[in-house]
Amino acid sequence: MDLFDFSSVVDWSRLQFAMTAGYHWLFVPLTLGLAVLMSIMETLYVRTGDEAWKNAAKFWMKIFGINFAIGVATGIILEFQFGTNWSNYSWFVGDIFGAPLAIEGIMAFFLEATFISIMFFGWNKVSKKAHLASTWLVTIGATLSALWILIANAWMQHPIGMEFNPETVRNEMVDFWAIALSPIAINKFFHAVLSGWATGAAFVVAISSWFLLKKRHQDFALKSIKLGAIFGLVSFVLLAVTGDGSGYEVAQKQPMKLAAMEGLYEGKEGAGLVAIGMLDPKLADKSKYHTATDNAFLFKIELPKLLSIMGYRQINAFVPGIKDIIDGGYTMQDGTTALSFDEKKMRGDKAIEALANYQMAKDEGRLDELAGYEATLKENFDYFGYSYLDKPEQTIPNVPLMFYTFRVMVGIGLYYILLFAIGWYLHRKKKLEDKKYKWFLYVSLWSLPLAYIAGQAGWIVSEVGRQPWTIQDILPVQAAISSVEVSSVITSFTLFFVMFTLLLIAEVTILVKQIKKGPEELEK
């Protein structure tokens, strides 16, 4: 395989994984959000005896079921790709990465599968409380599935709780709880799950607004909007809190991601957060990073000091820019001096060399030399992946994509906080059926795509921001892929794209028919 084909395999494998993950995340947020909302509605039914809440729960439960089934299909294919397209990665860290995914499959997914049949078919066949318990257990199972997958993803962002075994050339888990309870994992879990709750709330409010516009099932729609608006408002406010926590963790563990998000090329003390801005298009060429100045923007509106506060909890903290991270030499928060790209690459080369020498000494029976090579390997292993890189600009993510996508995500979040606050207020004042406020119903309905765009934008920031790393600082993408022909990846990409598109069309078609049909029980 020559260099051109190798690069093509990397690009197509990344594109295929991004496509699959993007489609998968169209279904997951609605599953997470509707699960909680339908559980709350059924809880209100059991506590109050109000049949309207039961009918509302049953309607949204049908929507949940349609979405859940297709989400499972895309999720399975996504996990298979670790073996088909990223086998070197799976070999290198399979002992660690596989554990959360195995727990997800054994515990969380089977919890959902066990109780979902009772939830759908157990109405009037088991007691109210037993049925309510099954509904909540399905919700808990779906949430736990997200937990273990997000723990695995967080470990890729900040690999801890492991040791590299030169005998097997694999990373092995030594502290499960360090992996499961890392600050990045906990924050990522809450942020991702809350984004699902917010999407579910946006969906419920949007569809309920459609019913009001059509003057159908108005009591059902009003109840759903009330619950959805309150639930969504709380979810988006909490998203802002966990988003701040994500910013802090990124600053501590992935400073290059933070610098790319802010278009920050030169570090500064008391750095401001750019609220709105336009980057200089010339800097899209990563090789020109060293020519950037503080004026990397054609224009910007900045919130003074806020980036330093978000990233380091200090008003005048130094925030390193892209050039600082590559050149090194600045003092980090722990008092140590940041290494330059060249120094990290030198240490990565030492780690690779020590591993090769270890293997050679072992094969040749020079066992007395193994301890020395292993010590050198461990001393430099934190920068193992830099040995596979050639130029410093390879460590820079796509800055324009990161900068604009981050602001799209935050902007939509702020928009929905305002929208849900208005919705809750109008419901409280009993004005949602007033013709003067029909505009709110239209805005809620046509805003629904924004919730999905925000979710996709969040994952772009998270995953593109850590490029070129599959595992931060340890394994870049070009060292993680399978040894396959580029034509094979292109073929599978095309097949998956067609299949996922058809699945999406099928789901939307079924959802539209179900929504138009409405909660039939309310008409009795």
User: Is residue 120 located within the same domain as residue 265?
Assistant: no
What pLDDT is stored for residue 334 in this prediction? 83
Asked if 375 and 343 count as a contact pair (C-beta separation under 8 A), the reply is no
Beta 475-476 vs 297-303: how paired, if at all?
A: unpaired
Q: Which string of b and e fits 232-262 if b means at least 16 CB within 10 Å?
A: bbebbebbeebbebbbbbbbbbbbbbbbbbb
Tokens of 37: 């909302």
Residue 334 domain flag: no
Give the DSSP H or E segment for 52.
Answer: helix 51-84
The number of CA neighbours under 13 Å toward the Cβ of 361 is: 17
Residue 333 domain flag: no
User: Is residue 61 located within the same domain as residue 165?
Assistant: yes
* DSSP category for residue 271: P
- CA pair distance 516, 524, nearest whole angstrom: 17
What pLDDT is stored for residue 523 in this prediction? 42
- CA pair distance 499, 503, nearest whole angstrom: 6
User: Is residue 128 located within the same domain as residue 214?
Assistant: yes
At position 222, the amino acid (one-letter code) is: L
What pLDDT is stored for residue 429 in this prediction? 87
User: Is residue 317 located within the same domain as residue 302?
Assistant: yes
The whole domain housing 357 covers 341-388
Asked if 417 and 236 count as a contact pair (C-beta separation under 8 A), the reply is yes
| Distant-in-sequence contacts of 505-513, Cβ < 8 A, 24+ apart | 506/70, 507/27, 507/66, 507/67, 507/70, 510/66, 511/63, 511/66, 511/67
What pLDDT is stored for residue 273 in this prediction? 94
User: Is residue 35 located within the same domain as residue 182?
Assistant: yes
Report the SS3 class of residue 204: helix
Residue 10 domain flag: yes
In total, how many domains does the chain have?
A: 3
Residue 203 domain flag: yes
User: Is residue 266 located within the same domain as residue 239?
Assistant: no
Residue 336 domain flag: no
Tokens of 6: 């190798």
User: Is residue 225 located within the same domain as residue 239?
Assistant: yes
User: Is residue 170 located within the same domain as residue 288?
Assistant: no
Residue 460 domain flag: yes
Q: Which residue is associated with the tokens 């409010």?
A: 205
Tokens of 126: 């088991």
**Domain C-terminal end among 301, 327, 353:** 327
What pLDDT is stored for residue 2 in this prediction? 41
User: Is residue 18 located within the same domain as residue 82?
Assistant: yes
User: Is residue 229 located within the same domain as residue 314?
Assistant: no
Tokens of 1: 């395989």
What pLDDT is stored for residue 63 in this prediction? 93
Q: Where are the beta strands (DSSP E) in 180-247?
A: none
What pLDDT is stored for residue 3 in this prediction? 39
User: Is residue 288 located within the same domain as residue 365?
Assistant: no
User: Is residue 413 located within the same domain as residue 349?
Assistant: no
Residue 510 domain flag: yes
From 37, 65, 49, 51, select the one nearest 522 (Cα to Cα).
Answer: 51
Mean pLDDT by 10 residues, the chain (524 residues): 57 91 92 96 94 93 89 82 88 84 76 85 91 94 90 92 92 92 93 96 96 92 94 96 94 94 92 92 79 79 94 94 94 90 96 95 91 95 95 93 96 96 91 88 96 95 93 93 89 92 92 89 46
- CA pair distance 105, 89, nearest whole angstrom: 20
Q: Where are the alpha helices (DSSP H) in 254-314?
A: 255-262, 306-312
Residue 332 domain flag: no
